[in-house]
Amino acid sequence: MLKPKVISQVLRQASTNGINAALLMNAGGSLLAFAAPSDREARIYAAIAANLWSTYLKSSNSDAAFRNEKQEDDLRLLILPCEEGVVAIAAPSITMLVCLVGDKSVDLGMLKAKIEAVSRHLSEPLEKVASYQQ
């Protein structure tokens, strides 16, 4: 089981220096915990991020199948520079996604390092939880 409040704290640690929002959601885009200026924003970010992730995942899978490669090495990290900022999405476990949303000032290397750190930190407990879910 997860303590939602503890996860929020972890996410809050990541949301510094230009990172506006840090979210943990399930693959469907429902928020589990977040650190963001408002509920509304967090929900919108989560929905868009989950949608993007699933779209890329699908295409990467079909691409791998097309080239007769194994599907194990699928999508790990997405970094999307947008008009008003930059988004990074990663999957700490099969059923979960983390997402960081930063403004333009954020350096991509820093963003990548941060999301990898958060993802690695959460992956063990989340894997454990996933193994209990049917």
Partner 1 sequence: MKKKVLLMGKSGSGKTSMRSIIFSNYIARDTRRLGATIDVEHSNLKFLGNLTLNLWDCGGQEAFMENYFASQRDHIFKNVEVLIYVFDVESRDVERDMHYYQSCLEAIMANSREAKIFCLVHKMDLVQEHQREKMYEERCRELRTRSEPLKIETFRTSIWDETLYAAWSTIVHALIPNIRTLESHLNNFCSICDADEVVLFERSTFLVIANAARINHIDAHRFEKISNIIKQFNLGCSRSQTHFKSMEIKGSSFTAFIDVLTNNTYVMVVMSDPSIQPAATLMNINVARKHFEKLAEP
Closest to partner 1 by CB, 22 or 86? 22
Closest to partner 1 by CB, 94 or 113? 94
Least spacing, CB of residue 91 vs partner 1, in Å = 16
Of 126, 83, 125, 98, give the one whose Cα is nearest residue 31: 98
Q: Distance from CA of residue 25 to its chain's centroid?
A: 7
Closest to partner 1 by CB, 23 or 106? 23
Least spacing, CB of residue 81 vs partner 1, in Å = 28
Contact between 78 and 97 under an 8 Å Cβ cutoff? The reply is no
Phi, psi of 97 (to 5 degrees): -130, 145
Name the residues that contact partner 1, by CB under 8 A.
1-5, 7-8, 25-26, 30-34, 129, 132-134
Q: Which two tokens stand for residue 11?
A: 């996410």
Least spacing, CB of residue 66 vs partner 1, in Å = 34
For the four alpha carbons of 45, 104, 95 and 72, in that order, the dihedral sign comes to positive
Least spacing, CB of residue 132 vs partner 1, in Å = 4
